[in-house]
Chains A and B, each alone.
Chain A
C-alpha cells in the first residue's frame, strides 16, 4: 500500500478529483503515513470545494503531508502558503483569542495547513495600529498643554515595523531551531515545522491589535490591566501549543523553554507600551518646570525646560 511510486499517486488523484467533483461529500484516504492523514484529507476536501482553478494547478497540494514539492523559485511554491479562505482565517483568529485547555492551536485549528496570510497581515495591522494609537494617545494626553504642537511622529511606524517583524520571524526561528535540535537529540515525536511555528506566533499577536487601540484611553491602571489580559490570552495560546512538544524533555529544559517564550512575549508587549504610549506624567515633566525647594535645583530645572 505504501510502496506505490510517485507517478501512480498522481494518477490516482486525478481520478479521485473527478469523483470528488461528482460527489463532494465523499471521504478519501491519502496514501501518506502521517497520523494526521484523515484530518489532513478532510481539510483538503474542504479546500478543493472552491472553484478557483488557478491555485489548483499544482496538485502537489493535494498530497497529504509534504506540500512543498515545487521548487522555492516557482510562484506556486509561495501560493501554497496562501491557500486559505475567508472563513478559515476567521476561524484561526477566533482560535487565537479563545484558547481552551487541551486545544493545541496547531493540531486543532491549523490542521497541517499553515498559512502565511494571517501572520503577515496581522503583523502589518499591528504595526500601524501601534504607531497610530501611540500617536493618538500622545496627542490626547498633551491636549491641555499650550506649548504642545501636534506632530505626526511618522518615524514610529518604521520602528514599530522593524520591532514587530523581527519578533514575528526571528523568535519562531529560534524556537523552531531549538525544538528541532532537542527533538533530534532526544529522538522524540515529530515536532512542528517552521511554518507552523511562524503561523502560531503570527496569530497569537492578533490580540494585541484591539489592546493597542484600547491603550489610547489615558488610564494607567486600564493600560496595565489590558496588558495582563492580552498576555494571559496570547501566552496561553503559545503555552498550549508548545507544552506538549516540550514536556517529554527534561523538566529543566521544558520549563525554561516555556518561560523564555513567555518572557519574550511579555517584553514585546511592555516594550511597545513603554515606547509608543508615553503617558501624561512623562510629557508634563518635560514641558512644565516643577517647583522645588532648593534654588539650585530650580535653576537647573529652568535651563532644562524650553
Chain B
C-alpha cells in the first residue's frame, strides 16, 4: 500500500495512520452463535449453567464498548462481530428520542420507528456503499462497527436530557451543542479507525463521507430533541 501511495498520493492519505497498531484480544468465539448454546462438538456449551452463557456474551459486548471508547486498530474486534451492542444502543437511543405522543404527529421529533429505520437502513446502505466501492470488510462486520460507534452519541443523548432537566435556555443549548459536536466527532473518528483499512486507497474519502453524514444526522436528532412544553 505504501508504494501506491507514494506514486499516486491519494487524498486523505493520512486516514490510514489514524490509530496505533495493537492486536488486542477480544472475548468471544467465532464458532459459537451469539446468545444461544452451541451444539458444536469442539466446544460444547450445552451443559454449562445459563449464567455462564449470558455472562460470556455480556462480557463480549462490554469489551467492545470499551474498544469504542478507546479506538485502537484491532482486527480481532472486526473478526468477532456481534449485533447485540448495536441493537441495545439503537433501542435506547430511539426510546429517548421519540416525540411525545401528546404532540401532533406533524411537528414533533422523530418517532421510534423513524429513528430505528434511519439507524439500521443507514448502516445497511453505508455498508453496501463501501462494499460496492471495493471494500474487503464483510457485511456484518461493518454493521457491527457502525452500530457500536453510535455509543458516544447515546451518551450525549443521556447528557442532553439531564441538561434539559435544568432548563432549556441559551446556556443549556451551548452545553448541548458542545457535547453533541464532541461525541459526533468521536463516533466518526472511531468508526473510521476501524473501517478505513479495508478500503482501496483511492476511495477512502468516498467511504468516509457517508459515515460522516450518518453520524451528523443522528447528532442533529440528538441536538434538536426538545421535551414537550
A and B held together in a complex: yes
By beta carbon, the residue of chain B nearest A127 is: B217
Known: A86-B11, A86-B205. A132 touches B220 (CB 8 A): yes
**B202→A85 contact, CB < 8 A:** yes
A86 to B180: give the CA distance in the assembly, Å: 29
Q: Which residues of A contact B205 (CB under 8 A)?
A: 86
Any chain A CB within 8 A of the CB of B136? yes
A125 to B4: give the CA distance in the assembly, Å: 31
In A199-237, the 8 Å CB interface with B consists of: none
**A86→B12 contact, CB < 8 A:** yes
Q: Which residues of B contact A84 (CB under 8 A)?
A: 203, 206
Q: Which residues of B contact A51 (CB under 8 A)?
A: 1, 4, 200-201
Question: Which of B26-34, B47-55, B103-111, B144-152 binds A?
Answer: B103-111
Any chain B CB within 8 A of the CB of A89? yes
Q: Which residues of A contact B134 (CB under 8 A)?
A: 52, 54-55, 79, 82
In the complex, what's the smallest C-beta–C-beta distance from B161 to chain A, in angstroms? 15
Any chain A CB within 8 A of the CB of B158? no
In B121-161, the 8 Å CB interface with A consists of: 129, 131-136
A154 to B109: give the CA distance in the assembly, Å: 5
Any chain A CB within 8 A of the CB of B37? no
**A152→B108 contact, CB < 8 A:** yes
Choose among B11, B109, B135, B206 the residue with the greatest number of A CB atoms under 10 Å from its CB. Answer: B206
Question: Which of B73-81, B82-90, B221-229 binds A?
Answer: B221-229
- Pick the residue among A78, A86, A155 that contacts B10 (CB under 8 A): A86
Give A contacts to B, CB under 8 Å: 49-52, 54-55, 75, 78-79, 81-82, 84-87, 89, 117, 121, 124-125, 128, 132, 135, 149-155, 158
Closest 5 CB pairs of A and B: A52-B200, A85-B202, A82-B132, A55-B134, A151-B107
Give B contacts to A, CB under 8 Å: 1, 4, 8, 10-12, 99, 103, 105-111, 114, 129, 131-136, 200-206, 209-210, 213, 216-217, 220-221, 224-226, 229
10 A-B pairs (CB sep. < 8 Å): A49-B8, A54-B134, A75-B131, A79-B132, A82-B133, A85-B206, A121-B129, A152-B225, A153-B107, A154-B111
